[in-house]
Amino acid sequence: MTSNDKDKDDKKAKGDAAARAAERAARQAANKAEREARRAARQAERTAHRAQSEQAPEKPGDRTQDKPRGKATGKAAAKASGKLPAQPVAGAAPKAATSLPSSVAPLLVSPESAAEPVAKSGTPPFNILVIGQGRRLGSEAALFAASLRRNAPDWRGRLIVAEPKPEGPWAGTDTQIPTLQRAAIAAFGAEILPFTAQHFGAGYPYGNKIEALSLLPAGEPFMFFDSDTLITGPLDRMEIDFSRPSASMRRTGTWPEPPLYGPGYGDIWKSLYDRFGLDYESSLDKSQPDEYWERYLYFNAGWFFGNDPQEFGRRFLDWSLAIRNEPGDALACQSLDPWLDQITLPLVIHSLGGGRPGPELAGLDGWASCHYRNLSLLYARESDEVVALIEDLAADYRISTFFAEDEAAKQLIIEGKGRSSVRPLFGDNGSEWPEKKIRQTLRRADLWFR
């Protein structure tokens, strides 16, 4: 290559980098303008509410949370435009009855793995369960509730935040959700229900999701979400067949880890299916090669659903305890912590007639929900829309009151390091990085927060 050719290549590379930087700056400026418009609208809303309260004192029994939820004014027009206005819900904090301009309509994340449906589905009402415990999970549960009310305003069902009591296997642990987080959770229309763990607790905190299913009413469709999830689209528009349970496919091959001389993937999984009297062959994805982890039914337990939480929960608990207490020869070399819930989940789902989610459910790992895990990972790998959503939710006075005391939120959101420091480390392809490499990069930069 001549020196002239090298100079041309260098100039082209610099030009491409400058173009990408300009595009990123324009995108950030647009997002900032949108956030400022939303904040201004909320401030105007609160001012109008105060003025309205001064002119017409509240009458007994006239609080928003005491009324059944109704349709917002102008809903038909909003649906025609493709935007869904935020609206009060039963149990939500009182809010001024002013309609929002289109610039501050609820943020619906752009489709990634599936197109967002344009018509309401026939999915029946269903209950949602998340775990709330202590400051961190309590904060995440409040964010989940806020995102649900914002981006799925037509969803119908009970949002239940399960809070373990500091008893039994949780004895000696402060499990209570702090006051500010409790207030926010209630303001967004969720119910905080306590439960007493009998089998897992501090020794295996992931067992909360197994034992908390006992809180849900029998015979009513349900969906569980990990607390570190944001709802980014209208769940009520999804076509969900609750009689065929399923779970998240946003997973990697974390379990099992077959030893060099066996048993392999097939023998390990088959031993579990045989143990519980299940048909092993019908669980396989035979488009994948033998002894490759994706051939075997395996889920991320970040979300899962079913038709009857009591039946699902009993089987989930009984089989998890059986595997924990007597792993069997095939699992003798395998670690069960922290994978026990993910080992048992596919067995339960398969036993209840479920399996891998079909294309109609792709939105649960795409446009309808985002399992971000923590704020550092969110800024590293999630879309610009998700970043704008978390920042917008953080500006809500019900969230900002406790976010001001949270070190991750303070540095990444309030001080802006998420945009200025984290996102530039990964460019536009953070979602393609292995999570382990992302964590290492963030730790080296002192930007890792849990």
What does the pLDDT look like over 13-68, one tens digit per residue? 555 555 555 655 555 555 555 555 555 555 555 455 445 444 444 433 333 333 33
Higher pLDDT, residue 212 or 366: 212
For residue 124, the model assigns a pLDDT of 87
For residue 450, the model assigns a pLDDT of 82
Quickly list DSSP for 57-107: PPPTT--GGGS---PPTTHHHHHHHT-------TTBPP---PPPPGGGSPP
Please check whether residue 186 is in contact with residue 159, taking contact to mean a CB–CB distance below 8 angstroms. no
pLDDT digits (tens, 9 = 90+) for 273-290: 999 999 999 999 999 999
For residue 21, the model assigns a pLDDT of 54
Six token digits for residue 357: 């989610």
Residue that is written with structure tokens 């897992």 in the block: 200
- Spell out a b/e string for 224-244, using b for 16 or more CB atoms within 10 Å of the CB, else e: bbbbbbbbbbbbbbbebebeb
pLDDT digits (tens, 9 = 90+) for 99-148: 322 323 344 444 444 445 444 556 889 999 999 999 999 999 999 999 99
Closest CA relative to residue 365, chosen from 269, 279, 249, 263 = 249
Please check whether residue 240 is in contact with residue 126, taking contact to mean a CB–CB distance below 8 angstroms. yes
Please check whether residue 249 is in contact with residue 357, taking contact to mean a CB–CB distance below 8 angstroms. yes
Q: Name the percent of the chain lying above pLDDT 90.
A: 70
What Å distances lie between residue 400 and 37, 107, 231, 337, 406, CA to CA? 17, 19, 19, 35, 10
Helix, coil or strand: residue 394: helix
Six token digits for residue 348: 């339960």
Mean pLDDT of the 85-98 span: 35
Q: Which domains does the chain possess?
A: 124-371 (3.90.550)
For residue 34, the model assigns a pLDDT of 55
Please check whether residue 38 is in contact with residue 104, taking contact to mean a CB–CB distance below 8 angstroms. yes
For residue 146, the model assigns a pLDDT of 98
Please check whether residue 449 is in contact with residue 412, taking contact to mean a CB–CB distance below 8 angstroms. yes
For residue 68, the model assigns a pLDDT of 34
Give the separation between CA 165 and CA 133, rounded to whole angstroms.
Answer: 9
Is the predicted pLDDT of residue 349 greater than 70, yes or no? yes
